[in-house]
Chain A
Amino acid sequence: MTEIDPEKLNVAPGEPHSDILSETVAYVIGLGLALGLTAISFWVASTSSLWGPGVAVGLVVLAIAQMGVHLVFFLHITSGPDNTNNVLALAFGVLVVFLVMIGTIWIMEHMNENMMPGPEITNLQMQH
């Protein structure tokens, strides 16, 4: 990276764990992985060479993988002991997010199936 000032390599006394180079490299790796996963997502969504019904699931998996990359390389969430509180809070957040999303989709889908006959109402059309 061009922004690295050689004079600064050994500065930062208050930073025990990393020098500017390795810190920057972590961001570059993160960016590379995220770009790669994004590119794969767009390719998966537009190709016709994959099994159709599996595409949506594959896209969700790719998205979750990319979120993991962002958390690790950009937000520096690690499994180290100094990160326990951050990870616990994250875990609770993820739990609530999944409960809300999967719970809603699951319930609403079944409600649609069981309670609303007729194709035009089954997809919850709002009719005024």
Chain B
Amino acid sequence: MTNEAATIGLTHGASEDTGLGHRGPESKSIVVPYGFWLFVLSDMVLFSALFATYATLAHATDGGPTSNQLFDRNLVAVETLALLISSFTCGLAMIAAKRGNMLWTQGWLLVTGLLGAVFLFIELYEFATMIGEGAGPQRSAFLSAFFTLVGCHGAHVTVGLLWIGTMMAQIWAKGFREHIMRRLLCLSVFWHALDIIWVAIFTIVYLIGTLP
């Protein structure tokens, strides 16, 4: 095998481990999360387009309500806190899962999901209040861009919540098998990425949008 690989130029002479691939492809536990990492990055590219749209249209209020009148920083602070701590507890769940500790894994995943639900609830409350005040997505280009950007993030969180529930059930039913651990790792990457996108949202939309 090694000789064969050497003849087609995959190894460097006598060296056993050059890191250049003569061992063949990486294991699934590396390849799958890497592929998922690429997906997450492309998701961030998608969000960058929505951010660019929002930044372009942020002042296009068509005489309607402006960001200063609409956004409540206290509410956003609670949302931010909930999502940040859920990102932390998601990490703790991964630590417990690597050790095969069912109780702590399920517990931290539950806390993660509950905090995500708190975040989502506040966001939906904010959306409902705005729409009730006549500041729905149809009102102005600014509000269309706002609901698209923040709503897209909210949709991701919703998917994340469903995923967390699914993983809790799968871990419970199947235990910490290799493919379950792979999915769990992808979930944690997804959840941490959502928090990174939220950092950009609360900074650009809510903080910069409500500067005096």
Contact = CB atoms under 8 A, between A and B. Distances in A.
Given A31-B84, A56-B208, A89-B37, A70 B192 contact: yes
Contacts of B67: none
Contacts of B52: 100-101, 103-105
B91 A27 contact: yes
Contacts of A48: 212
A1 B91 CA distance: 13
A104 B55 contact: yes
A38 B80 contact: yes
A56 B212 CA distance: 11
A23 B42 CA distance: 28
Given A48-B212, A85-B34, A70 B95 contact: no
Nearest to A65: B199
Interface residues of B, number: 55
A5 B99 CA distance: 11
Given A75-B192, A100-B52, A105-B55, A63 B200 contact: yes
Interface in B42-64: 42, 44-45, 48-49, 51-53, 55-57, 59-63
Interface string B92-121: 100110110100100010000000000000
Contact of B62 (A35, A56, A125): A125
Interface string A68-107: 0011001100000100011001101100111011011100
A97 to B, nearest CB: 4
Contact of B88 (A27, A45, A96, A100): A27
Nearest to A75: B192
A115 interface: no
Contacts of A105: 52, 55-56
B85 interface: yes
A70 B199 contact: yes
Contacts of A63: 199-200, 203-204
Which of B80, B199, B200 counts the most chain A CB atoms within 10 A? B199
Q: Which 8 A-B pairs have the closest CB atoms?
A: A93-B41, A104-B52, A63-B203, A97-B48, A45-B207, A123-B59, A124-B60, A27-B91
Interface of B: 19, 34, 37-38, 41-42, 44-45, 48-49, 51-53, 55-57, 59-63, 73, 77, 80-81, 84-85, 87-88, 91-92, 95-96, 98-99, 101, 104, 108, 140-141, 189, 192-193, 195-196, 199-200, 202-204, 207-208, 210-212
Given A11-B99, A93-B41, A125-B62, 5 more contacts: A41-B203, A75-B192, A96-B48, A101-B51, A103-B52
